[in-house]
Structure 1
Protein backbone atom coordinates (compact mmCIF):
# COMPACT_ATOMS: atom_id res chain seq x y z
CA UNK A 1 0.00 0.00 0.00
CA UNK A 2 2.92 2.32 0.67
CA UNK A 3 4.12 1.70 -2.88
CA UNK A 4 0.66 2.55 -4.21
CA UNK A 5 0.67 5.90 -2.39
CA UNK A 6 4.13 6.72 -3.73
CA UNK A 7 2.92 6.00 -7.26
CA UNK A 8 -0.02 8.40 -6.81
CA UNK A 9 2.30 11.16 -5.55
CA UNK A 10 4.64 10.58 -8.48
CA UNK A 11 1.76 10.90 -10.94
CA UNK A 12 0.65 14.15 -9.33
CA UNK A 13 4.16 15.57 -9.63
CA UNK A 14 4.42 14.42 -13.26
CA UNK A 15 1.16 16.08 -14.31
CA UNK A 16 2.10 19.25 -12.44
CA UNK A 17 5.43 19.44 -14.25
CA UNK A 18 3.70 18.83 -17.58
CA UNK A 19 1.16 21.58 -17.00
CA UNK A 20 3.91 24.10 -16.26
CA UNK A 21 5.79 23.27 -19.46
CA UNK A 22 2.68 23.51 -21.64
CA UNK A 23 2.11 27.27 -21.33
CA UNK A 24 1.10 29.37 -24.28
CA UNK A 25 2.64 32.54 -25.67
CA UNK A 26 2.63 36.08 -24.34
CA UNK A 27 0.92 37.98 -27.19
CA UNK A 28 -0.81 41.23 -26.33
CA UNK A 29 -4.60 41.29 -26.13
CA UNK A 30 -6.07 44.38 -27.80
CA UNK A 31 -8.50 46.53 -25.78
CA UNK A 32 -10.37 49.18 -27.78
CA UNK A 33 -11.31 52.52 -26.24
CA UNK A 34 -13.69 54.37 -28.56
CA UNK A 35 -14.39 57.85 -27.21
CA UNK A 36 -16.90 58.54 -29.98
CA UNK A 37 -19.36 56.24 -28.15
CA UNK A 38 -19.57 58.98 -25.50
CA UNK A 39 -19.40 56.42 -22.67
CA UNK A 40 -17.68 58.20 -19.80
CA UNK A 41 -16.94 55.30 -17.45
CA UNK A 42 -16.25 51.62 -18.05
CA UNK A 43 -14.85 48.91 -15.80
CA UNK A 44 -13.62 45.48 -16.84
CA UNK A 45 -12.05 42.46 -15.11
CA UNK A 46 -9.22 40.72 -16.92
CA UNK A 47 -7.13 37.57 -16.45
CA UNK A 48 -3.39 37.96 -15.96
CA UNK A 49 -1.54 38.72 -19.17
CA UNK A 50 -0.23 41.39 -21.54
CA UNK A 51 -2.59 43.98 -23.03
CA UNK A 52 -2.50 46.90 -25.44
CA UNK A 53 -4.94 49.80 -25.34
CA UNK A 54 -6.06 51.20 -28.70
CA UNK A 55 -7.64 54.63 -28.24
CA UNK A 56 -9.35 56.55 -31.00
CA UNK A 57 -11.85 59.34 -31.49
CA UNK A 58 -12.25 62.62 -33.44
CA UNK A 59 -11.85 65.95 -31.72
CA UNK A 60 -11.67 69.40 -33.27
CA UNK A 61 -8.24 70.75 -32.40
CA UNK A 62 -9.59 74.29 -32.31
CA UNK A 63 -12.27 73.40 -29.78
CA UNK A 64 -10.74 70.94 -27.28
CA UNK A 65 -7.62 70.43 -25.21
CA UNK A 66 -6.99 66.71 -24.68
CA UNK A 67 -4.94 65.35 -21.77
CA UNK A 68 -4.50 61.75 -20.63
CA UNK A 69 -2.94 59.71 -17.85
CA UNK A 70 -2.45 56.03 -17.16
CA UNK A 71 -1.57 54.41 -13.86
CA UNK A 72 -1.38 50.98 -12.26
CA UNK A 73 -1.96 50.38 -8.56
CA UNK A 74 1.26 50.95 -6.60
CA UNK A 75 3.03 52.06 -9.75
CA UNK A 76 2.47 55.34 -11.61
CA UNK A 77 3.58 55.06 -15.24
CA UNK A 78 4.55 57.75 -17.71
CA UNK A 79 1.62 59.57 -19.37
CA UNK A 80 -0.02 57.61 -22.12
CA UNK A 81 1.74 58.01 -25.48
CA UNK A 82 -0.66 59.98 -27.67
CA UNK A 83 -0.54 61.88 -30.92
CA UNK A 84 -2.73 64.44 -32.68
CA UNK A 85 -2.72 63.66 -36.40
CA UNK A 86 -3.81 66.11 -39.07
CA UNK A 87 -6.23 64.64 -41.55
CA UNK A 88 -7.91 66.30 -44.56
CA UNK A 89 -11.29 65.41 -45.94
CA UNK A 90 -13.37 66.72 -48.84
CA UNK A 91 -16.90 67.91 -48.33
CA UNK A 92 -19.04 67.67 -51.47
CA UNK A 93 -20.95 70.82 -50.48
CA UNK A 94 -17.80 72.87 -49.98
CA UNK A 95 -14.86 72.82 -52.32
CA UNK A 96 -12.49 74.06 -49.63
CA UNK A 97 -10.50 71.52 -47.60
CA UNK A 98 -11.48 71.22 -43.95
CA UNK A 99 -8.92 70.18 -41.35
CA UNK A 100 -9.76 68.03 -38.32
CA UNK A 101 -7.70 66.36 -35.63
CA UNK A 102 -7.78 62.69 -34.70
CA UNK A 103 -6.87 61.91 -31.12
CA UNK A 104 -5.31 58.45 -30.93
CA UNK A 105 -2.96 56.54 -28.72
CA UNK A 106 -1.66 53.16 -27.62
CA UNK A 107 -0.44 51.83 -24.31
CA UNK A 108 0.97 48.41 -23.46
CA UNK A 109 0.64 47.11 -19.94
CA UNK A 110 0.51 43.90 -17.93
CA UNK A 111 -2.20 42.69 -15.60
CA UNK A 112 -0.79 40.86 -12.60
CA UNK A 113 -2.30 39.53 -9.40
CA UNK A 114 -4.32 42.22 -7.57
CA UNK A 115 -3.66 44.79 -10.31
CA UNK A 116 -5.83 47.82 -11.05
CA UNK A 117 -4.98 49.77 -14.22
CA UNK A 118 -6.77 53.07 -14.85
CA UNK A 119 -6.86 55.24 -17.96
CA UNK A 120 -8.20 58.80 -17.67
CA UNK A 121 -8.71 61.04 -20.73
CA UNK A 122 -9.92 64.61 -20.30
CA UNK A 123 -11.43 66.67 -23.12
CA UNK A 124 -11.75 70.34 -22.17
CA UNK A 125 -13.67 72.68 -24.43
CA UNK A 126 -11.71 75.86 -25.02
CA UNK A 127 -14.65 78.23 -25.49
CA UNK A 128 -16.56 77.63 -22.26
CA UNK A 129 -14.27 75.38 -20.18
CA UNK A 130 -16.74 72.48 -20.02
CA UNK A 131 -14.96 69.19 -19.50
CA UNK A 132 -15.65 65.56 -20.26
CA UNK A 133 -13.65 62.93 -18.38
CA UNK A 134 -13.42 59.43 -19.84
CA UNK A 135 -12.34 56.74 -17.36
CA UNK A 136 -11.47 53.12 -18.14
CA UNK A 137 -10.57 50.82 -15.26
CA UNK A 138 -9.15 47.31 -15.67
CA UNK A 139 -8.90 45.00 -12.68
CA UNK A 140 -7.37 41.54 -12.42
CA UNK A 141 -9.85 38.74 -11.91
CA UNK A 142 -9.86 36.76 -8.70
CA UNK A 143 -7.07 34.30 -9.41
CA UNK A 144 -7.79 31.84 -6.59
CA UNK A 145 -11.06 30.40 -5.40
CA UNK A 146 -12.57 27.67 -3.23
CA UNK A 147 -14.40 25.06 -5.35
CA UNK A 148 -16.83 22.47 -3.96
CA UNK A 149 -16.92 18.98 -5.45
CA UNK A 150 -18.37 15.60 -4.51
CA UNK A 151 -17.14 12.08 -5.10
CA UNK A 152 -15.59 9.04 -3.46
CA UNK A 153 -12.49 8.57 -1.32
CA UNK A 154 -10.55 5.41 -0.49
CA UNK A 155 -8.81 5.39 2.88
CA UNK A 156 -5.88 3.03 3.34
CA UNK A 157 -6.26 1.42 6.79
CA UNK A 158 -2.74 0.95 8.14
CA UNK A 159 -3.93 -0.82 11.28
CA UNK A 160 -6.97 -2.73 10.12
CA UNK A 161 -6.98 -5.76 12.40
CA UNK A 162 -10.33 -6.71 13.92
CA UNK A 163 -11.04 -9.69 16.15
CA UNK A 164 -13.54 -12.39 16.99
CA UNK A 165 -13.83 -15.32 19.39
CA UNK A 166 -13.29 -18.84 18.07
CA UNK A 167 -13.71 -22.25 19.71
CA UNK A 168 -10.36 -24.11 19.73
CA UNK A 169 -8.89 -27.13 21.51
CA UNK A 170 -7.64 -24.79 24.21
CA UNK A 171 -11.00 -23.15 24.71
CA UNK A 172 -12.64 -19.98 23.37
CA UNK A 173 -9.84 -17.87 22.00
CA UNK A 174 -9.65 -14.30 20.72
CA UNK A 175 -8.29 -14.37 17.16
CA UNK A 176 -8.12 -12.10 14.15
CA UNK A 177 -11.26 -12.44 12.10
CA UNK A 178 -9.43 -12.66 8.75
CA UNK A 179 -11.67 -10.18 6.97
CA UNK A 180 -9.77 -6.97 7.63
CA UNK A 181 -10.57 -4.04 5.37
CA UNK A 182 -7.54 -2.65 3.53
CA UNK A 183 -9.26 0.16 1.60
CA UNK A 184 -12.34 1.80 3.08
CA UNK A 185 -14.50 3.73 0.56
CA UNK A 186 -16.29 6.81 1.92
CA UNK A 187 -18.45 9.36 0.03
CA UNK A 188 -16.77 12.73 0.23
CA UNK A 189 -17.58 16.44 0.02
CA UNK A 190 -14.39 18.26 -1.01
CA UNK A 191 -13.32 21.91 -0.86
CA UNK A 192 -10.40 22.75 -3.17
CA UNK A 193 -8.41 26.00 -3.33
CA UNK A 194 -7.36 26.37 -6.97
CA UNK A 195 -5.83 28.86 -9.38
CA UNK A 196 -8.54 29.99 -11.82
CA UNK A 197 -5.96 31.01 -14.40
CA UNK A 198 -4.65 27.46 -14.83
CA UNK A 199 -6.74 24.70 -16.34
CA UNK A 200 -4.41 21.94 -15.14
CA UNK A 201 -2.50 22.38 -11.89
CA UNK A 202 -2.07 21.43 -8.24
CA UNK A 203 -4.04 22.97 -5.39
CA UNK A 204 -4.93 22.52 -1.74
CA UNK A 205 -7.95 20.64 -0.49
CA UNK A 206 -9.93 19.75 2.58
CA UNK A 207 -13.06 17.67 2.91
CA UNK A 208 -15.46 15.73 5.05
CA UNK A 209 -16.79 12.21 4.74
CA UNK A 210 -20.53 12.18 4.29
CA UNK A 211 -21.11 8.65 5.57
CA UNK A 212 -24.01 8.94 8.05
CA UNK A 213 -22.44 6.41 10.42
CA UNK A 214 -19.24 8.30 11.11
CA UNK A 215 -17.41 11.57 10.48
CA UNK A 216 -14.18 11.69 8.50
CA UNK A 217 -11.99 14.74 7.88
CA UNK A 218 -9.59 15.01 4.92
CA UNK A 219 -6.68 17.31 4.10
CA UNK A 220 -4.04 17.23 1.39
CA UNK A 221 -3.27 18.23 -2.17
CA UNK A 222 -5.36 17.97 -5.31
CA UNK A 223 -4.59 17.73 -9.02
CA UNK A 224 -7.40 19.31 -11.04
CA UNK A 225 -8.40 19.39 -14.68
CA UNK A 226 -10.57 22.22 -16.02
CA UNK A 227 -11.56 23.37 -12.48
CA UNK A 228 -14.03 20.47 -12.40
CA UNK A 229 -12.33 17.10 -11.97
CA UNK A 230 -10.15 16.57 -8.89
CA UNK A 231 -7.73 13.74 -8.06
CA UNK A 232 -6.61 14.18 -4.47
CA UNK A 233 -4.32 12.54 -1.94
CA UNK A 234 -3.43 13.26 1.67
CA UNK A 235 -4.34 12.26 5.20
CA UNK A 236 -7.74 11.38 6.65
CA UNK A 237 -8.79 11.56 10.29
CA UNK A 238 -11.49 8.95 10.64
CA UNK A 239 -12.96 6.18 12.73
CA UNK A 240 -12.03 2.49 12.58
CA UNK A 241 -12.00 -0.60 14.80
CA UNK A 242 -9.41 -2.13 17.12
CA UNK A 243 -9.37 -4.70 19.90
CA UNK A 244 -10.77 -3.51 23.22
CA UNK A 245 -8.00 -2.57 25.66
CA UNK A 246 -9.07 -5.21 28.18
CA UNK A 247 -8.34 -7.99 25.71
CA UNK A 248 -5.25 -9.20 23.87
CA UNK A 249 -4.89 -11.52 20.91
CA UNK A 250 -4.98 -15.26 21.80
CA UNK A 251 -6.63 -14.61 25.19
CA UNK A 252 -8.80 -17.50 26.43
CA UNK A 253 -12.24 -16.31 27.54
CA UNK A 254 -15.06 -18.12 29.30
CA UNK A 255 -17.74 -17.42 26.65
CA UNK A 256 -18.07 -16.17 23.12
CA UNK A 257 -18.03 -12.39 22.77
CA UNK A 258 -19.83 -10.49 20.01
CA UNK A 259 -17.76 -8.48 17.54
CA UNK A 260 -19.43 -5.27 18.74
CA UNK A 261 -18.23 -5.91 22.33
CA UNK A 262 -14.83 -7.22 21.33
CA UNK A 263 -13.85 -4.37 19.00
CA UNK A 264 -13.99 -0.69 19.87
CA UNK A 265 -14.15 2.35 17.60
CA UNK A 266 -11.38 4.94 17.69
CA UNK A 267 -10.09 7.79 15.55
CA UNK A 268 -6.74 7.68 13.76
CA UNK A 269 -4.95 9.21 10.78
CA UNK A 270 -4.49 7.22 7.57
CA UNK A 271 -3.56 8.11 3.97
CA UNK A 272 -6.28 8.42 1.33
CA UNK A 273 -6.88 9.04 -2.37
CA UNK A 274 -10.08 10.44 -3.84
CA UNK A 275 -11.79 11.35 -7.10
CA UNK A 276 -14.40 14.12 -7.03
CA UNK A 277 -16.38 16.14 -9.55
CA UNK A 278 -17.81 19.63 -9.51
CA UNK A 279 -21.56 19.26 -9.85
CA UNK A 280 -22.73 22.85 -10.46
CA UNK A 281 -21.47 23.10 -14.05
CA UNK A 282 -20.20 21.18 -17.06
CA UNK A 283 -17.07 19.31 -15.89
CA UNK A 284 -15.40 19.87 -19.28
CA UNK A 285 -15.52 23.68 -19.08
CA UNK A 286 -13.47 25.93 -16.81
CA UNK A 287 -14.38 29.24 -15.13
CA UNK A 288 -12.64 31.59 -17.55
Structure 2
Protein backbone atom coordinates (compact mmCIF):
# COMPACT_ATOMS: atom_id res chain seq x y z
CA UNK A 1 0.00 0.00 0.00
CA UNK A 2 1.09 3.54 -0.78
CA UNK A 3 -1.38 5.77 1.08
CA UNK A 4 -1.53 9.54 0.90
CA UNK A 5 0.06 10.83 4.08
CA UNK A 6 -1.65 13.61 6.05
CA UNK A 7 0.43 15.23 8.78
CA UNK A 8 -0.65 17.64 11.47
CA UNK A 9 0.78 18.69 14.80
CA UNK A 10 -2.46 17.52 16.36
CA UNK A 11 -6.08 17.20 15.31
CA UNK A 12 -6.76 20.10 12.94
CA UNK A 13 -5.65 18.18 9.86
CA UNK A 14 -8.60 15.86 10.44
CA UNK A 15 -10.81 18.55 8.87
CA UNK A 16 -8.71 18.26 5.70
CA UNK A 17 -8.73 14.47 5.86
CA UNK A 18 -12.52 14.43 6.25
CA UNK A 19 -12.97 16.47 3.07
CA UNK A 20 -10.56 14.21 1.21
CA UNK A 21 -12.44 11.12 2.35
CA UNK A 22 -15.72 12.65 1.19
CA UNK A 23 -14.56 13.85 -2.23
CA UNK A 24 -11.74 11.42 -3.05
CA UNK A 25 -12.84 8.26 -1.21
CA UNK A 26 -11.04 5.84 -3.51
CA UNK A 27 -7.58 6.63 -2.12
CA UNK A 28 -5.88 5.13 0.93
CA UNK A 29 -4.91 7.64 3.64
CA UNK A 30 -2.51 7.56 6.58
CA UNK A 31 -2.99 10.30 9.17
CA UNK A 32 -0.20 11.18 11.58
CA UNK A 33 -0.71 13.56 14.50
CA UNK A 34 2.27 14.67 16.57
CA UNK A 35 0.02 15.23 19.57
CA UNK A 36 2.76 14.60 22.12
CA UNK A 37 4.53 17.79 21.00
CA UNK A 38 1.55 19.92 20.03
CA UNK A 39 0.80 22.74 19.70
CA UNK A 40 3.32 23.95 17.12
CA UNK A 41 1.91 27.47 16.85
CA UNK A 42 4.22 29.19 19.34
CA UNK A 43 7.36 27.13 18.60
CA UNK A 44 10.39 28.49 16.71
CA UNK A 45 11.02 27.95 13.00
CA UNK A 46 13.87 25.54 13.73
CA UNK A 47 11.82 23.38 16.09
CA UNK A 48 8.79 23.22 13.79
CA UNK A 49 11.03 22.36 10.86
CA UNK A 50 12.74 19.53 12.74
CA UNK A 51 9.49 18.06 14.05
CA UNK A 52 7.89 18.26 10.61
CA UNK A 53 10.91 16.73 8.91
CA UNK A 54 10.75 13.78 11.31
CA UNK A 55 7.05 13.28 10.59
CA UNK A 56 7.47 13.46 6.82
CA UNK A 57 10.33 10.97 6.96
CA UNK A 58 8.17 8.64 9.05
CA UNK A 59 5.35 8.77 6.51
CA UNK A 60 7.75 8.16 3.65
CA UNK A 61 9.21 5.17 5.49
CA UNK A 62 5.68 3.81 5.93
CA UNK A 63 5.09 3.82 2.17
CA UNK A 64 3.63 7.25 1.43
CA UNK A 65 4.80 8.74 -1.86
CA UNK A 66 2.80 11.92 -1.31
CA UNK A 67 2.51 13.78 2.01
CA UNK A 68 0.21 16.72 2.67
CA UNK A 69 1.06 19.02 5.57
CA UNK A 70 -2.44 19.59 6.92
CA UNK A 71 -1.01 22.06 9.43
CA UNK A 72 -0.68 25.75 8.56
CA UNK A 73 2.18 26.23 11.01
CA UNK A 74 4.17 23.37 9.49
CA UNK A 75 3.38 24.64 6.00
CA UNK A 76 4.52 28.12 6.97
CA UNK A 77 7.69 27.23 8.83
CA UNK A 78 8.94 23.95 7.35
CA UNK A 79 7.55 23.16 3.90
CA UNK A 80 9.93 25.22 1.79
CA UNK A 81 13.08 23.86 3.46
CA UNK A 82 11.82 20.28 3.25
CA UNK A 83 10.98 20.67 -0.44
CA UNK A 84 14.26 22.33 -1.35
CA UNK A 85 16.65 20.29 0.79
CA UNK A 86 15.39 17.20 2.56
CA UNK A 87 13.11 15.92 -0.20
CA UNK A 88 15.90 15.89 -2.75
CA UNK A 89 18.22 14.06 -0.37
CA UNK A 90 15.58 11.50 0.63
CA UNK A 91 14.64 10.73 -2.97
CA UNK A 92 18.29 10.26 -3.84
CA UNK A 93 19.00 7.86 -0.98
CA UNK A 94 15.68 5.99 -1.19
CA UNK A 95 15.25 4.98 -4.84
CA UNK A 96 12.11 3.62 -6.44
CA UNK A 97 11.77 -0.17 -6.80
CA UNK A 98 13.21 0.05 -10.34
CA UNK A 99 16.35 1.71 -9.03
CA UNK A 100 15.60 5.20 -10.30
CA UNK A 101 15.61 8.14 -7.87
CA UNK A 102 12.52 8.33 -5.70
CA UNK A 103 9.62 10.54 -6.71
CA UNK A 104 8.10 11.49 -3.37
CA UNK A 105 6.42 14.84 -2.88
CA UNK A 106 5.34 17.08 0.00
CA UNK A 107 2.52 19.60 -0.39
CA UNK A 108 1.19 22.27 1.97
CA UNK A 109 -2.12 24.02 2.57
CA UNK A 110 -1.14 27.69 2.30
CA UNK A 111 -0.33 28.04 -1.39
CA UNK A 112 -3.51 26.31 -2.67
CA UNK A 113 -5.52 28.59 -0.38
CA UNK A 114 -3.95 31.84 -1.51
CA UNK A 115 -4.24 30.94 -5.19
CA UNK A 116 -8.03 31.23 -4.82
CA UNK A 117 -8.30 34.63 -3.16
CA UNK A 118 -7.84 36.71 -6.30
CA UNK A 119 -11.15 35.53 -7.70
CA UNK A 120 -13.00 35.96 -4.40
CA UNK A 121 -12.21 39.42 -3.04
CA UNK A 122 -13.83 42.46 -4.63
CA UNK A 123 -12.28 45.15 -2.44
CA UNK A 124 -8.79 43.60 -2.76
CA UNK A 125 -8.56 43.64 1.03
CA UNK A 126 -8.49 40.25 2.77
CA UNK A 127 -7.91 39.11 6.31
CA UNK A 128 -6.92 35.82 7.80
CA UNK A 129 -7.07 34.27 11.26
CA UNK A 130 -4.44 31.78 12.34
CA UNK A 131 -2.09 30.68 15.12
CA UNK A 132 0.54 33.04 16.43
CA UNK A 133 3.26 31.13 14.59
CA UNK A 134 1.53 31.32 11.21
CA UNK A 135 0.83 35.02 11.57
CA UNK A 136 4.36 35.76 12.72
CA UNK A 137 5.79 33.90 9.72
CA UNK A 138 4.04 36.29 7.28
CA UNK A 139 3.56 33.29 4.99
CA UNK A 140 0.12 34.36 3.81
CA UNK A 141 1.33 37.88 3.07
CA UNK A 142 4.35 36.61 1.14
CA UNK A 143 2.45 33.97 -0.85
CA UNK A 144 -0.43 36.26 -1.76
CA UNK A 145 1.99 38.97 -2.88
CA UNK A 146 3.49 36.53 -5.41
CA UNK A 147 0.15 36.00 -7.13
CA UNK A 148 -1.79 39.17 -6.33
CA UNK A 149 0.52 42.06 -5.42
CA UNK A 150 -2.45 44.46 -5.43
CA UNK A 151 -4.20 42.71 -2.53
CA UNK A 152 -3.76 44.06 0.99
CA UNK A 153 -3.44 41.25 3.55
CA UNK A 154 -4.08 41.55 7.29
CA UNK A 155 -3.52 38.74 9.78
CA UNK A 156 -4.87 38.17 13.26
CA UNK A 157 -3.45 35.66 15.73
CA UNK A 158 -6.16 33.80 17.65
CA UNK A 159 -4.87 32.29 20.90
CA UNK A 160 -7.22 29.77 22.52
CA UNK A 161 -9.31 29.04 19.42
CA UNK A 162 -7.71 25.64 18.79
CA UNK A 163 -7.86 24.76 22.49
CA UNK A 164 -11.56 25.65 22.58
CA UNK A 165 -12.23 23.27 19.71
CA UNK A 166 -10.24 20.42 21.25
CA UNK A 167 -12.05 20.88 24.55
CA UNK A 168 -15.35 20.26 22.76
CA UNK A 169 -16.53 23.83 23.42
CA UNK A 170 -16.84 25.02 19.81
CA UNK A 171 -20.58 25.65 20.22
CA UNK A 172 -20.33 27.38 23.60
CA UNK A 173 -20.85 30.99 24.65
CA UNK A 174 -17.16 31.10 25.49
CA UNK A 175 -16.33 30.30 21.89
CA UNK A 176 -18.65 33.11 20.74
CA UNK A 177 -16.85 35.55 23.05
CA UNK A 178 -13.30 34.73 21.96
CA UNK A 179 -14.18 34.53 18.27
CA UNK A 180 -15.95 37.90 18.35
CA UNK A 181 -13.00 39.45 20.18
CA UNK A 182 -10.45 38.42 17.54
CA UNK A 183 -12.68 39.17 14.58
CA UNK A 184 -13.30 42.66 15.97
CA UNK A 185 -9.54 43.16 16.31
CA UNK A 186 -8.99 42.00 12.73
CA UNK A 187 -11.64 44.29 11.24
CA UNK A 188 -10.40 47.22 13.32
CA UNK A 189 -7.09 46.91 11.47
CA UNK A 190 -8.75 47.12 8.05
CA UNK A 191 -12.43 48.00 7.61
CA UNK A 192 -12.32 47.21 3.87
CA UNK A 193 -11.79 43.47 4.36
CA UNK A 194 -14.40 41.48 2.41
CA UNK A 195 -12.84 38.02 2.71
CA UNK A 196 -11.52 36.15 5.75
CA UNK A 197 -9.39 33.05 5.31
CA UNK A 198 -9.39 30.45 8.07
CA UNK A 199 -5.65 29.87 8.33
CA UNK A 200 -5.86 27.03 10.84
CA UNK A 201 -7.50 23.69 10.19
CA UNK A 202 -9.21 23.73 13.61
CA UNK A 203 -11.22 26.82 12.77
CA UNK A 204 -13.94 25.30 10.52
CA UNK A 205 -15.41 23.81 13.70
CA UNK A 206 -15.96 27.38 14.92
CA UNK A 207 -18.04 28.30 11.87
CA UNK A 208 -21.15 28.89 14.01
CA UNK A 209 -19.39 31.48 16.15
CA UNK A 210 -17.70 32.97 13.10
CA UNK A 211 -20.98 33.53 11.30
CA UNK A 212 -22.28 35.38 14.35
CA UNK A 213 -19.17 37.59 14.57
CA UNK A 214 -18.46 38.27 10.89
CA UNK A 215 -20.66 40.78 9.02
CA UNK A 216 -22.80 39.20 6.31
CA UNK A 217 -21.01 40.95 3.44
CA UNK A 218 -17.69 39.28 4.36
CA UNK A 219 -17.00 35.81 3.00
CA UNK A 220 -15.48 33.18 5.29
CA UNK A 221 -13.16 30.77 3.47
CA UNK A 222 -12.25 27.40 5.09
CA UNK A 223 -9.42 25.42 3.54
CA UNK A 224 -10.89 21.93 3.23
CA UNK A 225 -12.69 22.23 -0.10
CA UNK A 226 -9.83 24.22 -1.59
CA UNK A 227 -7.28 21.56 -0.64
CA UNK A 228 -9.42 18.78 -2.11
CA UNK A 229 -9.81 20.57 -5.43
CA UNK A 230 -6.11 21.40 -5.46
CA UNK A 231 -5.16 17.76 -4.88
CA UNK A 232 -7.55 16.53 -7.57
CA UNK A 233 -6.00 19.03 -9.99
CA UNK A 234 -2.52 17.94 -8.93
CA UNK A 235 -3.35 14.33 -9.79
CA UNK A 236 -4.72 15.40 -13.19
CA UNK A 237 -1.47 17.20 -13.91
CA UNK A 238 0.70 14.43 -12.43
CA UNK A 239 -0.84 11.09 -13.47
CA UNK A 240 2.41 9.36 -12.53
CA UNK A 241 1.90 10.32 -8.88
CA UNK A 242 -1.77 9.41 -9.03
CA UNK A 243 -0.76 5.94 -10.20
CA UNK A 244 1.65 5.62 -7.28
CA UNK A 245 -1.03 6.28 -4.65
CA UNK A 246 -2.94 3.13 -3.70
CA UNK A 247 -6.70 3.09 -4.01
CA UNK A 248 -8.36 0.82 -1.48
CA UNK A 249 -10.54 3.35 0.29
CA UNK A 250 -8.87 2.79 3.68
CA UNK A 251 -7.68 5.17 6.38
CA UNK A 252 -5.21 4.47 9.20
CA UNK A 253 -4.38 6.78 12.10
CA UNK A 254 -1.16 7.27 14.07
CA UNK A 255 -0.45 9.52 17.04
CA UNK A 256 2.64 10.24 19.12
CA UNK A 257 0.42 10.61 22.20
CA UNK A 258 -2.02 8.40 24.06
CA UNK A 259 -4.22 6.56 21.49
CA UNK A 260 -7.27 6.68 23.72
CA UNK A 261 -7.06 10.46 24.08
CA UNK A 262 -6.61 10.82 20.33
CA UNK A 263 -9.59 8.56 19.72
CA UNK A 264 -11.82 10.70 21.96
CA UNK A 265 -10.72 14.03 20.53
CA UNK A 266 -10.96 12.76 16.95
CA UNK A 267 -14.71 12.25 17.49
CA UNK A 268 -15.05 16.03 17.73
CA UNK A 269 -13.65 16.40 14.21
CA UNK A 270 -14.84 13.23 12.47
CA UNK A 271 -18.09 12.49 14.34
CA UNK A 272 -17.35 8.78 14.47
CA UNK A 273 -15.03 6.39 16.32
CA UNK A 274 -11.70 5.39 14.81
CA UNK A 275 -8.90 2.99 15.61
CA UNK A 276 -5.51 4.58 16.21
CA UNK A 277 -2.01 3.37 17.04
CA UNK A 278 0.84 5.10 18.84
CA UNK A 279 4.15 5.76 17.11
CA UNK A 280 7.43 7.59 17.81
CA UNK A 281 9.13 10.16 15.60
CA UNK A 282 12.33 11.25 17.33
Same fold at TM > 0.5 = no
Structure number, greater radius of gyration: 1
| TM-score, normalised relative to structure 1 | 0.20
Q: Which has the higher contact order (CA 8 A, sep 6+)?
A: 2
| TM-score, normalised relative to structure 2 | 0.20
Higher helix proportion, which one?
2
